[in-house]
Amino acid sequence: MLDKNQIAQRIAQEVRDGYYVNLGIGIPTLVANFVRDDIQVEFQSENGILGMGPFPIKGEEDADLINAGKQTITALKGASYFDSATSFSMIRGQHVDLTILGAMEVSQNGDIANWKIPGKMVKGMGGAMDLVASAENIIVAMMHTNRAGHSKLLKQCSLPLTGVHCVKKIVSNLAVLEIANGKFKLLERAPGVSVSEIQEATLGDLIIEGEIPEMTF
């Protein structure tokens, strides 16, 4: 079973040379720590920066330089700043190559729910609806089950949706899966996790074809 850092490490393998990448809050943010040093990648934060760098060294924080999680950041050499409408032109216009975000639920037809739990405080969708509606390549980073042990990979989402038919790939603490013909297709197992354990943790329809390899790091 993977921890949050290992999920991020596995997702980092999906990041290719020359990609512009938008990282959501939570596990996706950790992906930046694991991207290979020998490829060129630029991180976009939808509040208005391309070429986002690591957190600043203490004493160098700048109130005018934050990411979409409102954390202080730095800008790498060659970075650019822009307004919010331009930022979402990059997203809506499909200029961003890869979007990585978290989810509360994903359904087997690629629907995603990650912004609202009825009856609880609703904080808002931020940029998530724009991102999932427009991105061509979306990877979801998530735990396979919730704290009560219930599957988060479902036939149909029960929570209010963020977007429909948009998720392409999922990396969970148990497996790598893709959405194929309205079903979850199992691609890889986490080290030490069996196919039957994944089957048991998946409420949606699961396609298992042939031998399922273990993830490599």
Annotated catalytic sites, by residue? 46
Residue number with CB closer to another protein (61 or 197): 61
Please give the structure tokens belonging to residue 10.
């596995």
To which H or E segment does residue 149 belong?
none
CB of 42 to another protein, least distance (A): 15
Residue 99 near another protein by CB under 8 A: no
Residues 148 to 167 in contact with another protein, rule: CB under 8 A:
160-165
Residue 86's CB: how many other CB atoms inside 10 A? Answer: 13
* CA–CA distance, 37 with 14 (Å, rounded to integer): 14
Phi, psi of 90 (to 5 degrees): -65, -40
Which CB sits closer to another protein, 120 or 147? Answer: 120
CB 157 within 8 A of CB 111: yes
Q: Does 105 bind another protein (CB under 8 A)?
A: no
Q: Does 142 bind another protein (CB under 8 A)?
A: no
Among 1, 36, 83, 158, binds another protein (CB under 8 A): 83
Site membership for another protein, residue 81 (CB under 8 A): yes
Residue 85 engages another protein in binding (rule: CB under 8 A)? yes
Report the chain's terminal Cα–Cα distance, integer Å: 13
Per-residue tokens: 147: 């704290």
Task: Report the DSSP beta bridge partners of residue 138.
Answer: 99
Cα dist. 152→100, 175, 199, 204 in Å?
17, 13, 12, 9
207 binds another protein (CB under 8 A): no
Whichever of 66 and 207 has its CB closer to another protein, that residue is 66
Are 174 and 196 contacting, i.e. CB atoms less than 8 angstroms apart?
A: no
5 binds another protein (CB under 8 A): no
How buried is 217 (Cβ within 10 angstroms: 0-12 exposed, 13-18 middle, 19+ buried)?
Answer: exposed
Nearest approach in angstroms of CB 113 to another protein is 9
Question: How many residues touch another protein (CB under 8 A)?
Answer: 54
Q: Is 72 in the site for another protein (CB under 8 A)?
A: yes
Q: Is 71 in the site for another protein (CB under 8 A)?
A: yes
Residue type, 71: Q
Shortest distance, position 97 Cβ to another protein, whole Å? 17
Binding site for another protein (CB under 8 A): 33, 45-49, 54-58, 60-73, 75, 81-85, 87-88, 91-92, 111, 121-130, 133-134, 160-165
